[in-house]
Amino acid sequence: MLVLGASVMTLTSWAQTKKANDKEAIRQQINSFIKAFRTRNVNLMMSLYTPDMVAFDIVPPLKDTGADTYRKTWEKTFKRFDGPIGIEVRDRNIVPGDKVAFAYQLLHLSATMTNGQKIDFWERMTLCFVKTNGKWLIMHEHVSVPADLRTGKAVLNLKP
């Protein structure tokens, strides 16, 4: 009975440790995402995705399929930013499973674009991960701002 109790304790504690480790590993992947965005590092960014990833990006098209396609999207995006890119993360929640995980958070983007336009808004970002060869990789990304369906406008002035 004591032995059984100890085994159950060990199993629970092992599961908790695994979960904490997975959360930390995913947090580091998201931090790498932020770093890649801030420093316009396409190779670092692309190291975070599975080859068959699907993105629902903040801008058209409806979806990008495959890391090769999404690399071009990131290259195009990075060229649009002029000077430093400010990114603040808030309300992050990471939910890890055995081999599948998801994380959602709000991102505050502030920057100047190459056309002179200043951007300063909060967006929502959902990242869905699969564990591949011991590494948590993004298989699906969904980034957006809400829309006002009556006026047809993107809503860019919301604050958390």
**Total residues binding its own copies (CB under 8 A):** 47
- Phi (first) and psi of residue 81, to 5 degrees: -90, 135
Nearer to its own copies, 75 or 120 (CB): 120
Instruction: Round to whole Å and give the CA distance between 32 and 46.
Output: 11
CB neighbour class for 70 (10 Å; exposed up to 12, middle 13-18, buried from 19): buried
Q: For residue 44, how far is the Cα from the chain centroid? A: 13
Facing residues of 119 across strands? Answer: 111
Give the range of 5-13, 32-40, 57-65, 66-74 binding its own copies by CB under 8 A.
Answer: 57-65
**Which pair of structure tokens corresponds to residue 64?**
């990008």
Nearer to its own copies, 36 or 136 (CB): 136
Instruction: Round to whole Å and give the CA distance between 29 and 102.
Output: 12
**Residue 47 in the binding site for its own copies (CB under 8 A):** no
Q: How far is the CB of 133 from its own copies (least distance, A)?
A: 16
Instruction: Round to whole Å and give the CA distance between 113 and 76.
Output: 12
Q: Give the single-character DSSP code of 134.
A: T
Select the residue interacting with its own copies from 74, 96, 136, 138 (CB under 8 A). 96
Give the range of 29-37, 41-49, 68-76, 101-109 binding its own copies by CB under 8 A.
Answer: 101-109
Select the residue interacting with its own copies from 2, 93, 116, 133 (CB under 8 A). 93
Q: How far is the CB of 67 from its own copies (least distance, A)?
A: 15
The site map against its own copies for 108-147 (x = CB under 8 A) is: -------x-x-x--x-x-x-x-x--------xx-x-xxxx
